[in-house]
Amino acid sequence: MNARRLFVAALAAFAAVLPAGLTVAAAPELPVLRIGFQKAAANLVIVKQQRLLEQRLPNTKVQWLEFPAGPQLLEALSVGALEFGLTGDSPPVFAQSAGKDLLYVGAEPSKPLSSAVLVPADSKLRTLADLKGKRVAFQKGSSAHFLILRALDRANLKWADITPIYLPPADARAAFEKGAVDAWAIWDPFYAATELSIKPRVLANGVGLSGNNSFYLASRPFVEQHPQALKVLFDALTEADAYVQANRKEAAQLISDFSGLNLATVHLFVSRRPPSPVGPLGPRIIADQQRVADTFVRLGLIPKPVNVSDIVWQPGRPVPTVASR
C-alpha cells in the first residue's frame, strides 16, 4: 500500500507540472504511437484490449508490437522503431552501457514472486549452492540474468562457478524439458506456464534476491516532443491496473484472449502481481536499479559503468541529455 501511495503521489505531482487546462486533445500532433510489450505486461495488454488509449488519444493511431524479452524490445526502441515500451530491470542497464539512446520514464512496484530459478522435479539440485558446475539457462541481459547473479551471491558462488546458457524463453524451455540444461531462470508468464504443465521444482524465487522491477522506457524524440502523452499513458495504465485488481476473472480472460495463454496460466501469473499503478521513478527505485547496474559492472558483464539517473526523465524537468557515463 505504501508503494501505491507513492505512485499516486508521483502521478499527482506529474499532473501539477503540466500546463493548466491540458486535455488529451492537446496531442493531435502525435499521429502514431508504437508500443512494445511482452506477454506478461498485464497493464499494457488491458490498455490494448479495452482501447483505453484510443479513447484518450482519438487522433493517434496506436500500434502494438510484441517482443519475447526486454533486450529485443529495447533494441527496437533505440533504433526508432518504437516510442514506448515495458521491460524488466536488466535490459535498460545493458542498453545504457552500450550507449543506446533511451529514457526511463515510469515504473511499476516490484514483483519478486513473478520470477524463479527452476529445476526439473527429479533433479538432484536442492539448494542454490548446488548450481556449482551446472548449466543454467536464461535470456542474456534480462531480469532473469540479474536473478541468477543474486542467487549466486546468496549461495557464495562466483559467476565462473556456473555455465551460463543464453537462450530466449521459448528456446530455454525446450532445452529445460530435454534436459540440455540443469536449471532455468525465468519470469512470468513463462514461469507460470511451465509450473502448471511440467511441474518443475523452484530452487528460489525473487523474494530476497530481486525485486523484479518493471520499467517503462521511451525514445528521446517522443519524450521531448510529447511529454503530455506520458501522463495519458500513465493514467491509462493505472486505470488498467485498477481493473485487473478489481476484476481478476474478466482481466484474465482479456489477457488470455490476446496472448493465447491458457486461463490457468494467466490466473496464476496475475495472482503473483501486487497492485501496480504506474508513475515516474522515485529515489528508491532509482537506487534499486543502480544496484542492478553496479552488479553487472562488478562482474564485467557490461562494457562500461552507468549512472542510471543520467537517463531518468522526471516531469517538469529538462529531458536528460547524457546517454551514459
pLDDT tens digits, 301-312: 998 999 999 999
Mean pLDDT (whole number) for 193-207 = 96
> Residue 219: enclosing H or E segment and its boundaries?
strand 214-219
Concatenating the DSSP letter of every residue in 229-247 gives HHHHHHHHHHHHHHHHHH-
Cβ neighbours around 221 below 10 Å, total: 12
Say if strands 135-138 and 183-187 run parallel, antiparallel, or are unpaired: parallel
Mean pLDDT (whole number) for 117-129 = 97
Is the pLDDT confidence value at 27 over 80?
no
Q: Which amino acid is at 156?
A: N
Task: Give the tens place of pLDDT for each residue, 137-169.
Answer: 999 988 999 999 999 999 999 999 999 999 999
Rounded distance between C-alpha atoms, residue 278 and residue 239, angstroms: 9
pTM: 0.83
Backbone angles phi, psi at 250, to 5 degrees: -65, -40
Cβ–Cβ < 8 Å for 226, 233 = no
Enumerate residues 6+ apart whose C-beta is below 8 A from 89: 143, 146, 210, 211, 212, 213, 214, 215, 288, 289, 292
Mean pLDDT (whole number) for 108-134 = 96
Q: Which amino acid is at 266?
A: V
The domains of the chain, with CATH numbers, are 2-110+213-311 (3.40.190.10), 112-205 (3.40.190.10)
Mean pLDDT (whole number) for 77-88 = 95
pLDDT band per the 50, 70, 90 thresholds, residue 322: low
- What is the reported pLDDT for 290? 96
pLDDT band per the 50, 70, 90 thresholds, residue 40: confident
Is the pLDDT confidence value at 45 over 50?
yes
